[in-house]
């Protein structure tokens, strides 16, 4: 008697589970539908994009758009540039951010509150507004049209620093004191103990910073004067015809620009969730 009842509820449960999963996958597909549509359009011939009735799938698949996207502009070179800029900026953000977070989390010093408030204030100053002034500074430093020039304003992020500080606060202070007694100086503590154990958070920040810098458009456009130095978002804008009637090649470029971030995202998705749990939840 009992046994069959048990099996029955299990059946109902798995049935419900299956339906739920199907439902969720459907919702997931709706969420990513814009990206899927862009993918579809990128394989369409331009005259098939805006037709009546609409083509959701390409009536004839063509690789012309990708060819155009890759030949009209040095898109691959742009991807290389974007990768370099994003990598350098992200590494810098993590290093400088964790150094500052270290100071805020493990030390007490005069002006700590003020300095922290100042750092937080930078999150509220819109960078787009400072662009012109920063352009002037970069010019005076002679760094226009260089990788360093592009990276310059991205080298540190208060957001990252904040998250890292939250994470570091969860470590017990006595840990550091114990390490000190054991003869471990603060630098060694930082590099040998603190950083290695914060890997989940750091990976999370790595991904989100990389994506964020990768997606920048205005600053790289302004600071680079030569085609070879441009980044991928600028390249995508170049393909867009001002009058917006050539969507197919633009979508091809959009997909090319999306691939790296989406791939990184999918690959590291598990790690990100784990990282978030350690860092963000702790208040």
Partner 1 sequence: MKNKIITVFLAIFMILSFVACGTTNNTANNTANNATDNTTDNTNDINDTKDIENSSVVNLTFWHSMDGSYLDIVNEQVKTFNETVGKEKGIFVTAVFNDWPGTESLTTAMANDDIKNMPDVIQLYNESVSVVRNYDRLVWAEDYLNDASSEITKDDLLANAVASFAIDGKSIAVPYNVSALLLYYNKTILEAAGYSAPPATIAEMADMLPELTEYSEAEYGLNVCIQQFELNNYIATQGSTGSYFGNNESGHNGYMTALACADDGTLMNFLNEWKKVIDSDSYKAVKDSYNEEFATGINAMLMTSSSRIKSIEELVDGKFEWDVAPIPKVSADDIGGAYASGGGLFMLDRDDDAKIKASWEFIQYMVSTEAQMKWAGGTGYVPVNVNIVEKDEYKSIIENNSKFSVAYEVLVGSSINEVGAFCPASDNIDTIVKEAMVAFAGGALVDNTYNAIVDGCNNAMDDYYRVNPIE
Partner 2 sequence: MKPQIKKLEPYLWLLPAFIIFGVFTFYPFVQTIFKSFFMVDALGKTKQFVGIQNYLYILSDAGFLSSIKVTLLYTIITVPISKAIALVLALMANKKRKFSLLYETCFSLPMAVATSVAAMIFQLMYVPGLGLINNITGLKIQWLTDARVALIAICIVQIWLSSGYAFLFMLAAIRSVPVEITESAHLDGAGTWMQVRSIYLPLISPTMFYLICTDIVWSMMTMSLVNVMTGGQYGTTTILQYVYKQLTAAGNYTNANPASIIAFILAFIATMLSFAWEKRGVTY
Longest CA–CA separation in the chain, Å: 85
Least distance between partner 2 and beta carbon 88 (Å): 13
Burial 43-56 (b: 16+ CB within 10 A, else e): bbebebbeeeeebe
Least distance between partner 1 and beta carbon 50 (Å): 4
Cα separation of 32 and 41, whole Å?
14
**Cβ closer to partner 1: 45 or 116?**
45
From the list partner 1, partner 2, none, partner contacted by residue 251 (C-beta under 5 to 8 A by kind): partner 2
Say which DSSP state 55 is in: P
DSSP string, 89-139: HHHHHHHHHHHHHHHHHH---TTHHHHHHHHHHGGGS-HHHHHHHHHHHHH
Least distance between partner 1 and beta carbon 199 (Å): 10
**Cβ closer to partner 2: 229 or 234?**
234
Closest CA to 178 of 193, 168, 199, 195: 193
Least distance between partner 2 and beta carbon 132 (Å): 6
Least distance between partner 1 and beta carbon 117 (Å): 29
**Cβ closer to partner 2: 12 or 130?**
130
Say which DSSP state 52 is in: S
**Cβ closer to partner 1: 144 or 159?**
144
Which residues make up the interface to partner 1 (CB under 8 A)? 46-47, 50-52, 67, 70-74, 76-77, 80, 84, 87-88, 91, 95, 132, 135-136, 139-140, 144-148, 151, 191, 195-196, 221-222, 225-229, 234, 237-246, 249
Cα separation of 249 and 41, whole Å?
9
**Cβ closer to partner 2: 12 or 218?**
218
From the list partner 1, partner 2, none, partner contacted by residue 193 (C-beta under 5 to 8 A by kind): none
């Amino acid at each position: 008697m009992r046994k069959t009842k048990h099996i029955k509820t299990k059946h109902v449960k798995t049935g419900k589970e299956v339906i739920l999963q199907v439902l969720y996958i459907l919702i997931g597909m709706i969420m990513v539908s814009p990206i899927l549509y862009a993918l579809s359009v990128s394989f369409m011939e331009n005259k098939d994009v805006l037709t009546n009735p609409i083509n959701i799938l390409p009536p004839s698949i063509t690789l012309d758009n990708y060819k155009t996207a890759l030949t009209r502009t040095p898109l691959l070179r742009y991807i290389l540039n974007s990768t370099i800029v994003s990598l350098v900026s992200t590494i810098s953000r993590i290093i400088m951010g964790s150094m500052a977070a270290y100071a805020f989390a493990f030390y007490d010093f005069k002006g700590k509150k003020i300095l922290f408030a100042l750092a937080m204030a930078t999150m509220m100053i819109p960078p787009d507004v400072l662009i012109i002034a920063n352009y002037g500074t970069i010019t005076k430093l002679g760094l226009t049209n260089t990788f360093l020039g592009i990276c310059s304003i991205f080298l540190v992020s208060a957001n990252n620093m904040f998250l890292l500080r939250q994470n570091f606060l969860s470590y017990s202070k006595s840990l550091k004191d114990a390490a000190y007694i054991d003869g471990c100086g603060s630098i060694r503590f930082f590099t040998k103990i603190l950083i290695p154990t914060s890997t989940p958070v750091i990976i999370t920040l790595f991904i989100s910073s990389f994506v964020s810098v990768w997606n920048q458009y205005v600053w790289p456009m302004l600071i680079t004067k030569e085609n070879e130095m441009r980044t991928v978002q600028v390249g995508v804008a170049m393909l867009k015809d001002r009058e917006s009637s050539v969507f197919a090649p633009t979508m091809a470029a959009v997909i090319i620009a999306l691939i790296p971030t989406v791939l990184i995202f999918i690959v590291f998705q598990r790690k990100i969730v784990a990282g978030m749990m350690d860092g963000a939840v702790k208040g």
